[in-house]
Amino acid sequence: MSQVTIIGAGVAGLTIAREVLDRSLKVTLIDRYEGIGPHQCSWWAGGMLAPFCEGESAEEPVVRLGAGAAAWWQKHSGSVTQAGSLVVSPARDRADMRRFARRTTEFREIGAEEIAKLEPDLAGRFSNGLLFETEAHLAPREALQKLRAGLIKDGATFEVGEADPDQLTGLVVDTRGFAAKPALPDLRGVKGEMLILKCDDVSLSRPVRLLHPRIPLYVVPRGDGIFMLGATMIESSASAHPTARAMLELLSAAYALNPAFGEAEVLEIGVDSRPAFADNLPRIRRQGNIIRANGLYRHGFLLSPALARMVADVITKDEQPEFYDAA
């Protein structure tokens, strides 16, 4: 049985491990850190499986390939909630809603009454919205934990340590994200800042996106009164500290969604830099025994199942799938 070494045990590494393992190969994952944690971009993810909403600004493959993500994650982590997503805008930014509707598909326009029925805590606050019924969301940390546990159960080996892909023999898959920048010079970082709040006064059943020309916000309910607020998009590889401005803007937007968020407790403030290529689509590049899979940008959970399948195709069928970059 062939042996594959995967460097990086974030969302890309774990999904690739799953696909490779399912094709009867032996898998070892090496990461600098033990387990799932804040050192990973995917730890801070929103966990929205919203391919159609993303279509507002993303390239076509994100919509097409992201459509299968919810089923994949449900199969391998069982932690997907299928409740759709809701897009709303303040009355003065109605133009942004019209634009969003023109740029996306698979939604239904709904009025104040239906918003009140779906999300009672938004009742009376928004007179119309877009409901993307087929979309889903998950709790990223739980999903990663379960995926990891399943891999261990099925025989994948996890090692802790620094690994240099050039020093390893056998087939190596490098999924280190921004840390692989020296080998992928056209990779860039897009800084994202987010907050996790606890607010017992607000209850939401599905991710809600609040449109705004400068400060778009999404709120993802995690259950038990916990919400993830995200996320900024800044062209920067900085990932050490969030800015005060980002916190001000995210919290102001949340307050606009429902003023009760003003009373929330701030549980966590997160910041990281998303690895991305120029068109914000992932790439698979092969260099001898090293396969590099990177650039998931803000679509870690949405695109990693498709990316993982493609990496497995490169390994087992010697194919050049869609995200394969021969250059």
Q: Which residues of the chain form contacts with another protein (CB under 8 A)?
A: 57-59, 99, 102-103, 187-189, 191, 213-214, 234-238, 243, 273, 278-280
Name which of 77 and 239 has its Cβ closer to another protein: 239
Indicate the residue among 40 and 280 with the shorter CB distance to another protein.
280
Least CB distance from residue 223 to another protein, whole Å? 32
Q: Are 25 and 1 in contact (CB under 8 A)?
A: yes
Question: Shortest distance, CB of residue 146 to another protein, whole angstroms?
Answer: 32
Beta bridge partners, 293, equal 284
For the bound state, the minimum distance from the C-beta of residue 46 to another protein, rounded and expressed in Å, comes to 18
Nearer to another protein, 17 or 41 (CB): 41
Q: For another protein, give the closer residue by CB, 134 or 237.
A: 237
Cα(301)–Cα(257) distance, rounded to whole angstroms? 25
CB of 242 to another protein, least distance (A): 10
Contact partners, residue 319, CB within 8 Å, separation at least 6: 313
Q: Which is nearer to another protein, 19 or 272 (CB)?
A: 272
Type of residue found at 196: I
User: Sheet containing 48-49: which strands, arranged edge to edge?
Assistant: 48-49, 136-138, 80-81
Of 302, 289, 322, which is closest to residue 73 (Cα–Cα)? Answer: 302
Cβ 183 to another protein, closest distance in Å?
15
Buried b (16+ CB within 10 A) or exposed e, 208-221: bbbbbeebbbbbbb
